[in-house]
Every structure is written in structure tokens, then in C-alpha cells.
Amino acid sequence: MVRSRLNNLYQSLRKKYGKPQGQWTLWCKRPKSIREREEIIIGSVLTQNTNWQNVEIALGKLKKENLLSLNRICRVKKASRLHPTIRSSGYFRSKALYLRNTACFFESYGGVKKAMKAPHDDFRKELLGVKGIGEETADDIMLYALDMPSFVIDEYTRRFVKKHDLTSDLSYGSLKDYFEERLPRNFKTYQDFHALIVIWGKENK
């Protein structure tokens, strides 16, 4: 079997780091409960341009207030109800709106379980229609919460591509295609590889 350069790089990271740890223990877990999938969706929004450490504080507060649930978040009367709870994750006014938009999108869609059965391309377009969800967050949600094979491109992925001089076009769509065309099309490979790239990236600034 012919192995792409990307596959070799993935194997190298696996050998170096093993299974992704920390946050990735949950994000790469298989299988996951619906509750865990909802937590990942919520975390995906809160982690936009923000340290995971600050997100964890917010997730802990949401849990204490019984708000670590898409249904509960969608049903808060005003998004500002979430301000003190998610404050630590930064941009709290925007994210309160984004989070509720996202939660209500899944509620009206019919829940996480139904979303997992949706056609990927159509679902991605619908997700991108939610105010507060851009390409990276959409792919985070699809890949890690819904087990869909949609590769995530982020700042760490770009660093990885530059470091190994893999390709020159660093636009989101181009990089996404680059990875998806060269890896076995399954969500497990995508999850672990992307998680390992982030772990690698934190060590290589």
C-alpha cells in the first residue's frame, strides 16, 4: 500500500505523542454520549481565539448551573443570562449570542443524534449559516462532536504545513482539500491527526 507523506507525518506524531491527551481525551473519545457531544459543541464555540484553560473555567461554571446542555442554553430567556457564566472565555457578549444561536440551531434541527445522520455537505452549509460559526468552528463541531470526516484547519495546522513545506496555498478550503485528499476518509484518523498537530504546535513556537 502506498502511503502519502501526510500519512507518514501522522505516524510520526503518533509514535512521538501516542494517543492525544488532555482536552483531546474527550474530543477524540470513541464512542461518545450525547451529553459529551453537546459539551464539545459548546466548547468549540467558547474556544474561538481563546486559551482552552479559560474555556474550561467557563465549562465548569456552565455545568454547575446545569447549563452544559444545548436545550438549556437555547431556552435561556436572554443571552445575557450567560455573561457571568462564560465570562472567563473572553468576548463574552458575542459568545453568549453565538452559543445560543448554535444551541437553538441544533434544537430546531432535531438534536445531535439527528444531525449525525445528515448529509455532510448540506449540513456544513446549514451550520455555516449560524451567526457565530465560521469554517473552523463548523469543522470542529462536525469532526469532534458529530464524528463526520471533516478536517479542521486552524493556526496550528497552518504552522504544521509551513514547517514541513507541504503546500503553498494556505487558504482554508485549499488546506482542507489537501488533507482530505491525502488521508483515509474516516473521522478517527482526522480526529487524532488534527489533535496531534495541535499538541505538536504548542511545543513548537
The H-assigned helical ranges of 67-134 are 70-74, 83-86, 92-109, 112-115, 120-128
150 near DNA (CB under 7 A): no
Applying CB under 7 A, the span of 11-19, 162-170, 177-185, 197-205 interacting with DNA comes to 197-205
135 near DNA (CB under 7 A): yes
Residue type, 9: L
The answer to whether the beta carbons of residues 83 and 40 sit under 8 Å apart is: no
What is the widest separation between alpha-carbon atoms in the chain? 56
93 near DNA (CB under 7 A): yes
Within 10-49, which residues bind DNA (CB under 7 A)? 23-24, 27, 44, 47-49
Residue 67, all three cell numbers: 447549563
85 near DNA (CB under 7 A): no
Select the residue interacting with DNA from 140, 161, 190, 192 (CB under 7 A): 140
Please give the Cα distance from 128 to 51 (Å, whole number): 23
The answer to whether the beta carbons of residues 56 and 62 sit under 8 Å apart is: no
Applying CB under 7 A, the span of 30-38, 66-74, 161-169, 196-204 interacting with DNA comes to 196-204
Q: Output the smallest distance, CB 179 to DNA, in A.
A: 14
Phi-psi region of 134 (alpha: psi -120 to 50; beta: other; left: phi over 0): beta
Please give the Cα distance from 133 to 102 (Å, whole number): 8
Applying CB under 7 A, the span of 8-16, 114-122, 161-169, 194-202 interacting with DNA comes to 194-202
Q: Output the smallest distance, CB 87 to DNA, in A.
A: 5
Which residues lie near DNA (CB under 7 A)?
Answer: 23-24, 27, 44, 47-54, 57, 87-88, 90-95, 130-138, 140, 152, 154-156, 195, 198, 201-202, 205
